[in-house]
Structure 1
Amino acid sequence: MKNVAIIFAGGIGRRMNQKALPKQFMKLHGKEIIIHTLEHFQNHERIDGIVVSCVEGWVEYLEKLIKKYRITKVSDIVLGGRTGQESIYHGLKKATEIYGEEANVLIHDGVRPLINEETITRCIDSINEHGTGITVAPVTETIIRVNEKELIQDVIDRSNCLFARAPQGFRLNEIMEAHELAKKEGKLDFIDSATLMQWKGHKLSVVEGPVENIKITTPMDFFTFRAMVEAKENANLFGE
């Protein structure tokens, strides 16, 4: 069974105050965020291939980066869509063409570079055992629900809550079926693949991932990413 990563990098970074450079191409220590992300899948021994869905106008630039950093497992780059859902669909279609329907797919954000080897392994194992593997992290703060008047309606018991993260893993033929049905019924605004698959009726198994596995969306996220990378580098340097 092939294990394929679908990396979608179709965003343009409106919340990063970047007028020209999409957030996935911002650099930390001279290396683009998308490369930090791709290297985790490149270096994982059980990942057989990678398909990237890239924002329009940046495919050639990404191709040069992939060649520069020797990301040899990238089998193709496809154009992203108008939404995350459409970008993922484009990547899944290409993965089906290359690897066939009988494969596992791990869908991951190009701007979620703090993933680790263990989480990728757990996702693959969960797909093999349960058919799905949704990376999560514990909720560490109080969650409240408000009504239409923006008044607190109730405080939710966070012991039963988890943050949905990525990668989100599925059998390729099943996630493709869900996308095709959603397109047919005009449901084009699912927030992520897990929500789409739950709508299709699939049971979703969770995989615990690192709390720091954040998505780089705002300047604060980028500063957190930088701090985490520097802390890891210092730990390696001083043997902590």
Structure 2
Amino acid sequence: MQKPVRTAAILVAAGRGLRAGAGGPKQYRTIGGQTVIFRAMQAFCRHPDVATVQPVVNPDDVALFNEAVSSLRHAPPANGGATRQQSVHAGLEALANDKPDIVLIHDAARPFVTSAVISRAIDAAGRTGAAVPVIAVTDTIKQVDDGGDVTGTPERARLRIAQTPQAFRYDVILEAHRRAARDGRSDFTDDAALAEWAGLTVATFEGDAANMKLTTPEDFVREEARLGAMLGDIRTGTGYDVHAFGEGDHVMICGVRVPHNKGFLAHSDGDVGLHALVDAILGALADGDIGSHFPPSDPKWKGASSDRFLKYAVDRVTARGGRVANLEVTMICERPKIGPLRDTMRAKIAEISGIDISRIAVKATTSERLGFTGREEGIAATASATIRLPWSE
């Protein structure tokens, strides 16, 4: 019986992305409601034939990296080098104990890689030992001199645009990188060029025109617009929650600890604001309610912080390729007063959900001393959520 092929993927994310303009390293910026690195990495983490995902990051960006991909399983990140080539080499060495048969090397700045391209990469590496995804050149290419004058027109039919993930037998590309390091070569712009230098024959396989690299500010604008057009299935949901007061000295409202002369009677922390938002998001997804996902009969949720529930609900949206467009919650109570803490609560919801604060509203009203809220026996909250999903849903 043939031994199963073990595949690892290296995600190169140590660059600074200076050509992308202001806003920090481009791999940690958001596009379509998700960070670039999360989009690039999730395809490998969720592919059934990729056993290990090895990130390579700048040591200064570890906190950004951990926050961006906290929901994905991966190997501990390796420290990147001054060049892309050095970063890839670091990733290859980090896999030395794992000893995969095949390694895929992918740029974190290509967030739209598909499972189909990954499968083709694994197949091509298994057949050839070294292969890169390519797409045809559709424009005429000119070769110019230092002054910008045309010196030649290459035959377009023989030209291809190289993409990633580039796929290799692990032992072969590791030795090629080690040889280049010994020889002081650090100027290769991709692993195929290094492999060619090392004497390997590099095959090609079908890439994907959508698997583009984000390089300039214009790239971000264009792809944000493209993603927005794709997310045309707009849905809304509503939520409602209520908790009675009991003994205590504070209540949790919208993720904020609010001093009060009473506490909530609740299985979890009783955060009615976040609970109502969770139900609104799940309602927009037609995905049950908070009780079906976090049953109060389960002792593991006793005293649980409700920020976990909200993050879970948002992750359910992103897992289906969508994003949350707007969240609104209204607190109904006489006391404590919500107004002075409104922006603090908005900021906390933004932090938990990863949604821009401009898309979050926190409101408050009283019941004019009527009913249980008017008698200050508890607090109620209503909420609404607007989400956008791909039409393919």
The reply to whether TM is greater than 0.5 is yes
| Contact 2:14–2:56 (CA under 8 A) maintained in structure 1 | yes
C-alpha spacing 1:62/1:146, structure 2 compared with 1 (3 Å): same
Between the aligned partners of 1:220 and 1:143, the Cα distance in structure 2 is 22
Q: Which residue of 2 aligns with 1:11?
A: 15
Question: Which stretch of the first structure deviates more once superposed, 217-226 or 227-236?
Answer: 227-236
Q: Which residue of 1 aligns with 2:228?
A: 230
Runs of 4+ in 1 over 6 A off after TM superposition: none
C-alpha distance in 1 between matches for 2:45 and 2:13: 16
**What TM-score, normalized to structure 2?**
0.57
Q: Is the 8 A contact 1:59 1:79 kept in 2?
A: no
Say whether residues 1:94 and 2:94 are aligned partners. Answer: yes
Structure 1 unaligned segments of length 5 or more: list them.
none
Kept in 1, the 8 Å contact 2:32–2:227? The answer is no
- Over the matched positions of the two proteins, sequence identity in percent amounts to 30
Q: How many residues align?
A: 234
Give the equivalent residue in structure 2 for 1:135. Answer: 133
> What's 1:35 paired with?
38
Alignment CA distance shift 1:17-1:41 (3 Å): same
**Match in the other structure for 2:80:** 80
CA distance in 2, matches of 1:239, 1:39: 19
Structure 1 residue 42, shift from structure 2 partner:
1.4
- Residue of structure 2 equivalent to 1:172: 170
> Which residue matches 2:72?
71
Alpha-carbon distance in 2 for matches of 1:121, 1:12 = 29
Structure with higher Rg: it is: 2
Q: Secondary structure at the match of 2:102?
A: strand
Partner of 1:60: 63
TM-score (structure 1 length as normaliser): 0.92
Higher mean C-alpha displacement, 195-204 vs 153-162: 153-162
Shift of 1:95: 1.2
Cα separation, partners in 2 of 1:239 and 1:88, compared to 1, 3 Å: closer
Which of structures 1 and 2 has the larger relative contact order (alpha carbons within 8 angstroms, sep 6+)? Answer: 1
How far does residue 76 in structure 1 lie from its aligned partner after superposition? Answer: 1.7
Residue 189 (structure 2) aligns with: 191
Name the counterpart of 1:215: 213
Q: Distance in 2 between matches of 1:168 and 1:123?
A: 7
Higher relative helix content: 1
Q: Answer whether contact 1:50 1:76 (CA < 8 A) is retained.
A: no
Partner of 2:362: none
Pairwise CA RMSD of aligned residues?
1.7
| Aligned equivalents of 2:24, 2:390: Cα separation in 1 | 32
1: distance between equivalents of 2:392 and 2:79?
Answer: 43
Alignment of 1:154-165 (within 5 A): 154-165=152-163
Deviations 1:186-213 (A, max 9, x none): 1111111000000001011101111121
**Residues 1:176 and 1:238: Cα distance change in structure 2 (over 3 Å):** closer
Asked if residue 23 in structure 1 is aligned to residue 21 in structure 2, the reply is: no
Report if aligned partners of 2:12, 2:88 keep a CA contact under 8 Å in 1: yes
> CA 1:228–1:46 in structure 2 vs 1: closer, same or farther (change >3 Å)?
farther
- 1:6-63: CA deviations, max 9, x gaps? 0010111211222x62110001243210001111111211111100110221113312
Structure 1: distance between partners of 2:44 and 2:222: 22
